[in-house]
Structure 1
Amino acid sequence: MTLKRISLGGLAEAQDGKFGDILLADALTSYSRVLADLVVTFCMFFTTDVSSTSKPTRKCRTNDYVVPLIIAFPSIIRLRQCLIEYLRVRRATQRSQVAGSQGGQHLANALKYATAFPVIILAAKLKNYNPLDFYGYSEMSLSRLLFFFTFINSAYSFYWDVTKDWDLTLFSSARHSHEHPYGLRRHRYFANRQYYLAIIIDLAIRFSWLSRYVPGFVWMSETEFGIFILMFSEVARRWMWVFLRVEAEWIRNSRGPAPDDILLGEFGGKLDAD
């Protein structure tokens, strides 16, 4: 039921498993390229002039439109979920007639997923570059645009992972607080070094696409083995991300919600006095 609901970009109410919907949809964003490769494999399997056991070819005839759409689909799902959350917060605020959150954080989260679309479009166009499609833009210009948008998407996503999903204070003034180690938070269930390690791993994998610009690491984006490593790393990063995301959600519900995070009426527990 959850998979069916999120496949349409839906989002359950808090009491019906909203958090599970968000986790599953976020996981799909990490599996987007894996799903796209499955489509390429099926394309090769049903194409007469290509053997399904030969070296994978990403120039299969589905590549121009189908593969980019599959890669973008999980981000579209999360974008719609963020907009649903935003509208729910607005309606709840209007009904209560009490000044409070307007759901701005959900719009900011939606923007994060929207930054993936220029990356997907430009990457697809560069694979089959045609100067007639981009009059006045050379292949080098498009490559620079791709670099710019990919950097924005990676930096935004990394910031969101650390600050919003994990509730760490690394990018806020509270990072110097004496109540917790530098850049972390007061309530923690893992060892301090595990948080720092998670931040480093998240940063490295979020920016792993830079390997194509580093001499000696170009093979990671040019060979099948390298692409496999990048895909596997992203899935492993998401696996790590889930632990800290669930921990942060548990703390929000047991210690009190972060500002603008829990929808009005969703948090019914008594706030911890400390």
Structure 2
Amino acid sequence: MFDPFNIFFKGSRYWLIKSIVKLLTSGTRRVEFADFWMGDQFCSLVVTLSDLYLFACAYAVGFEKWRKCGSTAKTWPAVFILAMLPFLIRVVQSIKRYVDSRLNTHLINGGKYLCGIIYYLSYYIWRHQGSLRNTSFAFWCLFGTLYSVYASAWDFWMDWSLFQPHVKYPFLRAELLYTDHIPLYYFAIISNILIRFIWVIYIPSSSASNMYLRFFIAGFLEMLRRWQWNFIRLENEHLGNMDQYRVTREVPLPYSFNDNHHHIGDSDDD
């Protein structure tokens, strides 16, 4: 990543480093599309970020003894903070965007990430209480459902601008770029909802080894969900830029011009 030589896509590597630094300084500058788009990518890496502590611990004690690094009552807060750092960044970005624009939609978006933080907090508390069917379990299921519905609705109506009325393809939007792959829009809608509710695989009781397998499955599917989310999200952003004439070379005039009225002998003033 920090290789200074102009090999292995130096420009792309340095752009990624710069973008990550911008995320860590969120709230101090105007939030642009690349900032919150990159923040959303990291929000899908909860499992990866939480495993940073596990990796550091396993490196210290020896990888053959990695099971000793399982989260305990003393270490799970650090694991939780690592996992929730992108969500905290997105909350700060949403507040900053609201301060700059005074649009309430940014506060609603920030509420989605706050709901996600509470959901993950209740999950960690439930796990470290022994995964019992108690009050923390009910609290986790409640906020898991709220967050999944909240996030799915935001994906469909705001990030993807789907479910528009009176359109050619039901449940989609009037303008589409991937017109040769219409069925994939419907696949994305269904799979997006299912993966948003992937947390239900943690509910059945299981051994520690099976739980690690569930972590892998949930984390892998979330990355695939974000991958397909990117295509429709960027498509929607591009269409929005076109509507606001930010990506066009010619702005249409507010009147019609008839070439038949323009004669060769007319002067410049005419």
How far apart, in 1, do the equivalents of 2:82 and 2:253 lie? 44
Structure 2 equivalent of residue 146 of structure 1: 140
Structure 2 equivalent of residue 181 of structure 1: 169
What is the Cα deviation at residue 113 of structure 1?
0.4
- 1:213-252 aligned at under 5 Å gives the runs 213=203, 222-252=210-240
One of 177, 197, 202 as aligned partner of 2:187? 197
Please list the CA deviations of residues 39-60 of structure 1 after superposition, one character each: whole Å capped at 9, or x if unmatched: 112112223xxx4235645325
Bigger RCO of structures 1 and 2 (CA < 8 A, at least 6 apart): 1
Structure 2 equivalent of residue 117 of structure 1: 117
One of 22, 25, 34 as aligned partner of 1:5? 22
- In structure 1, stretches of 5+ residues that fail to align are 91-102, 131-137, 258-266
How far apart, in 2, do the equivalents of 1:238 and 1:11 lie? 27
How far apart, in 2, do the equivalents of 1:60 and 1:44 lie? 14
2:98 and 2:104 in contact (8 A); partners too = yes
1:30 and 1:238 in contact (8 A); partners too = yes
**Cα 1:251–1:219, aligned 2, differ >3 Å: closer, same or farther?**
farther
Report the structure number with the largest CA radius of gyration: 2
How far apart, in 1, do the equivalents of 2:34 and 2:112 lie? 20
1:150 partner letter: G
One of 69, 74, 80 as aligned partner of 2:86? 74
1:29 and 1:74 in contact (8 A); partners too = yes
Please list the CA deviations of residues 62-99 of structure 1 after superposition, one character each: whole Å capped at 9, or x if unmatched: 63211010111110100111111111113xxxxxxxxx
One of 231, 242, 257 as aligned partner of 1:254? 242
1:79 partner letter: V
Compute the RMSD of aligned alpha carbons.
Answer: 2.9
Q: TM-score, normalised by structure 2?
A: 0.76
2:91 partner letter: L
How far apart, in 2, do the equivalents of 1:141 and 1:187 lie? 47
One of 30, 53, 58 as aligned partner of 1:44? 58
**Cα 1:197–1:139, aligned 2, differ >3 Å: closer, same or farther?**
closer
2:47 and 2:215 in contact (8 A); partners too = no
- 1:164-179 aligned at under 5 Å gives the runs 164-169=158-163, 174-175=164-165, 177=166, 179=167
1:212 and 1:221 in contact (8 A); partners too = no
What is the Cα deviation at residue 154 of structure 1?
0.8
Structure 1 equivalent of residue 71 of structure 2: 59
Structure 2 equivalent of residue 21 of structure 1: 35
1:107 partner letter: L
**Cα 1:200–1:220, aligned 2, differ >3 Å: closer, same or farther?**
farther
Identity of aligned residues (%): 23
Structure 2 equivalent of residue 94 of structure 1: none
How far apart, in 2, do the equivalents of 1:34 and 1:24 lie? 16
What is the Cα deviation at residue 255 of structure 1?
2.5
2:161 and 2:173 in contact (8 A); partners too = yes
2:23 and 2:39 in contact (8 A); partners too = yes
User: Secondary structure at 2:177's aligned position in 1?
Assistant: coil
How far apart, in 1, do the equivalents of 2:58 and 2:208 lie? 23
2:194 partner letter: A
2:58 and 2:65 in contact (8 A); partners too = no
How far apart, in 1, do the equivalents of 2:253 and 2:190 lie? 31
2:172 partner letter: L
User: Secondary structure at 2:161's aligned position in 1?
Assistant: coil
How far apart, in 1, do the equivalents of 2:47 and 2:253 lie? 42
